[in-house]
Amino acid sequence: MLFLVPVLLASSALGATYTLSDTHVGSDFLTSFVHEAIPDPTSGRVNYVDQATATSKNLTYAMGDTLILRADSTTVLTPSGPGRDSVRIKSVKSYTTHVTVFDIRHMPQGLGTWPAAWETLEDGWPASGEVDILEGANDVAPNQMTLHTSPGCTMPATRDQTGTTATTDCGDSAGANVGCGVHAPAANSYGTAFNANGGGWYGMERTPEFVKIWFWARNAANVPSGVSTGADTVITENWGTPTAYFPNTSCDIATKFGANNIIINLTFCGAWAGTTFNSAGGVGACNTYVESNPSVFDQAYWDIAGVRVYQ
């Protein structure tokens, strides 16, 4: 009897097993991430503040198992002045082959918002690639997952994923910056429906051969136990078909991607949310809306239960 147990364990552990290397929960984020008070690279109507300002204004709040990152929702802005105060944080560490699991209770919501949870190396972008795990604009669901690389990386239109291919050229050709995107199948992967459902988990696995992204809604029946419990090890082979799959068929993932930092940001308008503001139901100019209506941004916050990195 006793001898059977190790045999069964060994067979179930076949495949890629990753071990927890970094746990970011609550106040961990105040030392393992830096607040980037930088000008918005995408021309958003935002003013990214530093950590001292963010904590003193309670835009960043870390306590127990909670990290809140939010935008100012009380100040009317002058059109010639700085944008709306918000927060952008970047992990101190960077990673190559790894798994990141985001446990998110609430994401920024509101017309004009453009939130993102993603990974890249800012220096020399996009030489080390970019993986957008959770991103969208103006509350328009579903989530869009996207790779950005230097030119010469494309994705097959059809591949083993539950999401829908939107664009296939990951390369930053002529500064178009569209990337190769995949739309998640479920509306509750993003924005209002995501928040109404208590959020959920995003998992991303990057190897030299592929990038895979999974989404599990908070109440999904198929959340892997290692994901929901923040276990010390995860076995991605047991996670099922990914929501988005980016294989190396016509993209050398190993050379298109280098070490990436994890970044969580919230901007307004700009290159994505600004250009789609009217089609998403906004009236007038996105910047004017953001300047004049602070209270509509009271739901423009991240509530993050944890970010775990496995290697």
Ligand X SMILES: *[C@@H]1O[C@H](CO)[C@@H](O)[C@H](O)[C@H]1NC(C)=O
CB 217 within 8 A of CB 200: yes
Identify the residue among 29, 95, 118, 214 touching ligand X (CB under 6 A): 118
Identify the residue among 209, 232, 237, 298 touching ligand X (CB under 6 A): 209
Using the minimum distance from each CB to ligand X, give the nearer residue, 44 or 224: 44
Counting contacts by CB under 6 A, is residue 58 touching ligand X? yes
Identify the residue among 97, 165, 168, 248 touching ligand X (CB under 6 A): 248
Using the minimum distance from each CB to ligand X, give the nearer residue, 37 or 187: 37
Ramachandran class of 230: left when φ > 0, alpha when ψ lies in -120 to 50, beta otherwise: left
Counting contacts by CB under 6 A, is residue 252 touching ligand X? yes
Alpha carbon distance 196, 9 (integer Å): 38
Counting contacts by CB under 6 A, is residue 241 touching ligand X? no
Q: CB of residue 130 vs ligand X: minimum separation in angstroms?
A: 7
Using the minimum distance from each CB to ligand X, give the nearer residue, 118 or 246: 118
Q: DSSP for 204-215?
A: EEE-SSEEEEEE
Q: CB of residue 20 vs ligand X: minimum separation in angstroms?
A: 25
- Choose the catalytic residue: 119, 130, 205, 291: 130
- Choose the catalytic residue: 135, 205, 209, 237: 135
CB 264 within 8 A of CB 302: yes
Alpha carbon distance 121, 178 (integer Å): 18
Alpha carbon distance 181, 114 (integer Å): 16
CB 83 within 8 A of CB 40: yes
Nearest C-alpha neighbor of 310 from the set 18, 29, 13, 16: 18
Question: Strand 17-24 to strand 233-235: parallel, antiparallel, or no bridges (unpaired)?
Answer: antiparallel
Q: CB of residue 309 vs ligand X: minimum separation in angstroms?
A: 19
Counting contacts by CB under 6 A, is residue 102 touching ligand X? no
Counting contacts by CB under 6 A, is residue 119 touching ligand X? no
Identify the residue among 135, 139, 169, 205 touching ligand X (CB under 6 A): 135
- 3 state SS of 46: strand
Nearest C-alpha neighbor of 246 from the set 173, 178, 311, 149: 149
Stretch that binds ligand X, among 41-49, 137-145, 225-233, 286-294 (CB under 6 A): 41-49
**Catalytic site residue 130?**
yes
Counting contacts by CB under 6 A, is residue 44 touching ligand X? yes
Name residues whose C-beta falls within 8 Å of residue 252's C-beta, 6 or more positions apart in sequence.
Answer: 153
Q: Annotated active-site positions, please?
A: 130, 135
Footprint of ligand X (CB under 6 A): 40-42, 44, 46, 58, 61, 68, 88, 116, 118, 132, 135, 209, 248, 252, 265, 267
